[in-house]
Amino acid sequence: MSALFVLVFVSIGIAGLFLMAFIWNVKNNQYEDKKGAALRILHDNELLQESNINKS
């Protein structure tokens, strides 16, 4: 039964990690510009591709 002791603390610890991740997200302004991130990802590689074409 004493395994339960360990498990309870492990589960709280894991949940705590998620809480920290959440706080870190908010602190880092990751929710500030939701639209921008969605658009940015579309064009991430455009310049890279062009420079590859120029080389070949």
Partner 1 sequence: MFTTKDRNTYIFVQKVPETLCYHCGVACVTRNIAIDEKVFCCEGCKLVYEIVAENGLCDYYKLQSHPGLSRIKSIRKEKYAYLDNEEIARQLYKFTDGDRTIVTLYLPGVHCSSCMWLLEHLHKINPYITESRLNFTTKEITIHFTKSNVSLREIVELLATLGYEPYISLGDADMKAVKGFDKQKIYKLGIAGFCFGNIMMMSFPEYLSGDTGIGMKYEHLFRYLNLVLALPVFFYCGSEFFSAAWKGLKQKTLNIDAPIALAVIITFLRSVYEIASGAGSGYLDSMSGIIFFMLVGRVVQERTYKFISFNRDYKSYFPIAVNVVTSEGVENKMLSDLREKDVVRLHNDEIIPADAIVVEGNATIDYSFVTGESEPVRVLQGQQVYAGGRQTVGQLTIQIIKPVAGSYLTSLWNHYSFANNKAETNDRNSIVHLMSRYFTYVLLGLALVTAVYWGFNDPSKIMTSVTAMLIVACPCALLLSVTFTNGTLLRLLSINGLFLRDTTVLEQIGNINHIVFDKTGTITQGSESNVVCSGHQLTEEEKDILYAAILPSKHPYSKALVKWLGYRQPVKVAEWAEATGKGLECTAGALKVMVGSAAFTGVNNDIQADEKTSVFVRIGNQVTSFRFLPVFRPEIPEVITELSHNARLSLLSGDNDNQRPVLAGLFGSGSELRFGQKPIDKLAYIESLQKKGDKVMMIGDGLNDAGALQQSNVGITLADDINNFTPSCDAILDSSKLKSFPDLLRLAGSGCNIIAASFIISLVYNFIGLFFAMQGLLQPIYAAILMPCSTLSIVLVTSGMANISALRKGLTVVSDGE
Binding site for partner 1 (CB under 8 A): 1, 4-5, 8, 11-12, 15-16, 18-19, 22-23, 26-27, 32-36, 39-40, 42-43, 46-47, 50
d(CA 53, CA 48): 9
CB 31 within 8 A of CB 25: yes
